[in-house]
Structure 1
């Protein structure tokens, strides 16, 4: 079977945002219900919300007038968005009240299988094609209608959380910047009418593409916010103050990044489905013939490049086991996990052996079988292992054994996305916890076993079935 590199949403045109004409009345949705998954063998039917009140066009005018500005020094003012006496009590509610109300709504959990089936058009209501649209157009409109309802709920919940973080983390400039991105995206989606035809769906896709790009630097910007908090607390409480064991902050970050992965998948999958020509095996971001061995080769090449650039040498990477296996997965997620594990192993091997000495190889072993519950990948190195005292903190976002990238003066993090091979070799301390979050998102896991003085084995478990719903925070 043919294999392809992991896919990320393709660049799309960036048209200027045009004012939306409010609906005179709420039209009847083309697709009144959306099947999003299966529980106990039965479809779970989710009702689609009716379009928003036309008064929200006032909110759009605020967007168009520049009330929401992406600036680190100037925060948008949302104190009273609906203040005219012409509006009803609900329409006069402040942005804060609107945000709180939407955040109270329930989220809809999806699975990899449901995402795949929806992209294939398998969940479309039968016989409902009164507007003469193609199956692909109906599928995109179905997904757009679902996202119009679901995304504001997820964004609102994150904004509420970002306003009440422990230890003063919510006061850090970088965290404020991230919150402003979420607030702006919430307002833009809420003020957009529910798509009811092909033209409106295309405009909605353009809006989501701009939002997708806006949030690309969220991971590293939040990491900078945590770094700012560390520096602030050290200045207040002394240079020896250690934030590594702040369980409340770690818990928030774990929840925040899990939610972010979900939003990125929902939007990224929808945007990719707009490409009519899909590579063989792909449905949006999902590849039904994902090859762990092929992705391991790519990750090994990129990790070797980074290691050689940093240390002047790099260990060989051997790929063994079930190298011919394929399964349904999102290749970009698997690539990220393998890249981080191999990057850590390569650095450990180089730092634990003297310059010019023979470097023992890193082994990637793939285990798979038709009856296996998981595809399991082991990354094994002889890089000296991890001290037992460090093991409880290796999955903490607040702990790293390398020089922090921000302290090293890296300029890459000013506008970088989630990850690429040009990033510093180590320093954020996010590699392992984010990799575990990616693995757990669709029912897998990441475990580490280490022998101090010898080496480390990482076990990456990936669910073969893809029927486990995402763990919503």
Structure 2
């Protein structure tokens, strides 16, 4: 079945509308602004927030939809990418056909609609990964290694934008929660303990490691459990989980058939004036220096891809120890989204240290692609 062109599924006037909105300027928001604004989720603020999203979301979504149409190497025509493009166009249409928000009834209907948009986009990452795989299949491996810079840059922009869209929708929806967790403003925990989040994320990673290998190295955490700062716990959990999972897998595979004692993975949490830094250290044998530039690319994983061409992305929801090579680049985007960063330092033959820097000032604007 030939994939439909956008013009066959969507009206000409809508496609023109997408291009018009795609040229408008995006408005970035800082963590601090989200925190201050959301600390009083009264009707007036919810209304202002909904009106802002009603204008902002179509701009961000239109930009991505236009990019999805114009990818190099024919990536735009891969079935998985067309599916993603249609999700974006459907969401754009939903937002644009929604009337102006004038009162709380409108606001409630709008909130339900953006909730549905967020669910529609749940599988964007694995589906795009599948599209890139479909592309790689037919390409000369030499080209794949050297030439896909453009595709990397696109995916960086695309996923960074997705983090922002999901954060804005999630934040607005969460402000309606009648019983927020103590000191939480939407998705933001104003008193998040990084040690506690690291502990939970490590336990999750260890249980997956046990499921896959039958056992898991210990994880030791160093840092003050009482130290807190404002951040989004879900983002930190995702990042630490990914880093610890990689470390556990490396250590487990290195010491699987050895009679030596398996060394623990160490997590150190340090609070500086500007940054909170979390270091994840392992003795899993490290990464060769020639492999280091590749670890932040979307086209490289040392593990086999759990997403198979023929299986439906939506069905399997279980996390495996080794993903489709997306863990680290996406982790780094989450870190950068609020002004932080992720660095990997490796000693081949010994192990790897990952440094996760989180900005504690909360002032940095979203990096809008």
TM category (shorter chain) comes to over 0.9
Q: Deviations over 1:163-214 (max 9, x none)?
A: 0101111111111000000000000100101111011110111111111110
Map 1:222-371 to 2 at 5 A.
Answer: 222-233=128-139, 237=140, 240-241=141-142, 243-245=144-146, 246-355=148-257, 357=259, 358-369=261-272
* d(CA) in 1 for partners of 2:267, 2:47: 42
Greater shift, 71-80 or 460-469, is seen at 71-80
What residue in structure 1 maps to residue 288 of structure 2?
A: 387
Structure 1 residues 72 and 185, CA, compared in 2 at 3 Å: closer, same or farther?
A: farther
The answer for the alignment partner of 2:25 in structure 1 is 106
Note the C-alpha offset of 1:377: 0.4
Looking at secondary structure, tell me which structure has more helix per residue. 2
Deviation at 1:136, TM superposition (A): 1.1
Q: Which residue of structure 1 lines up, in the alignment, with residue 279 of structure 2?
A: 378
Q: How does 1:184-199 map to 2 (within 5 A)?
A: 184-199=90-105
Structure 1: runs of 5 or more not aligned: 1-70, 82-92, 122-134
Q: 1:313 to 1:244 in 2, by over 3 A?
A: farther
Query: 1:440 Cα shift?
Result: 0.2
SS at match of 2:220: strand
Report the CA distance shift for 1:161/1:311 in structure 2 as closer, same or farther (over 3 A): same
Residue of structure 2 equivalent to 1:413:
313
Aligned residue in 2 for 1:16: none
Q: C-alpha separation between the residues in 2 aligned to 1:456 and 1:391?
A: 11
- List 4+ stretches of structure 1 deviating above 4 A: 71-80, 409-412
Residue by residue, what CA displacement relative to the aligned partner does 1:116-164 show, whole Å, maximum 9, x if unpaired?
111123xxxxxxxxxxxxx611111110000000000001000000001
Alpha-carbon spacing, 1:75–1:271, altered in 2? closer, same or farther (3 Å): farther
* Contact 1:78–1:94 (Cα < 8 Å) also in 2: no
Say if 1:379 and 1:459, in contact at 8 Å, map to a contact too.
yes
Structure 1 distance, partners of 2:226, 2:176, is 31
Structure 2 length-normalised TM = 0.95
**Distance across 2 between alignment mates of 1:220 and 1:403:** 14
Residue 73 of structure 2: aligned partner: 167
1:355 Cα offset (Å): 2.5
Correspondence for 1:62: none
Which of 436, 442, 461 aligns to 2:338? It is 442
Task: State the Cα RMSD in Å.
Answer: 2.0
Alpha-carbon separation, structure 2, partners of 1:321 and 1:72: 56
Contact 2:195 2:223 in 1 (8 A): no
* 2: CA distance, partners of 1:108 / 1:118: 15
Shift of 1:97: 1.6
| CA distance, structure 2, for counterparts of residue 261 and residue 403 of structure 1 | 26
Give the TM-score of the pair, scaled to structure 1: 0.74
- 1:415–1:185 Cα change, 3 Å: farther
Displacement of 1:324 in angstroms is 2.2
SS at match of 1:109: coil
* Structure 2 counterpart SS, 1:439: helix
Structure 2: distance between partners of 1:415 and 1:443: 34
**Which stretch has the larger CA shift, 391-400 or 377-386?**
391-400
Matches of 1:444 and 1:322, distance apart in 2 = 20
SS of residue matched to 1:288:
strand
Residue in structure 2 matched with residue 202 of structure 1 by the alignment: 108
Which one has the largest radius of gyration? 1
The yes-or-no answer on 1:459 pairing with 2:355 is yes
Give structure 2 stretches of 5+ with no counterpart: none
Distance in 1 of aligned mates of 2:5 and 2:111: 27
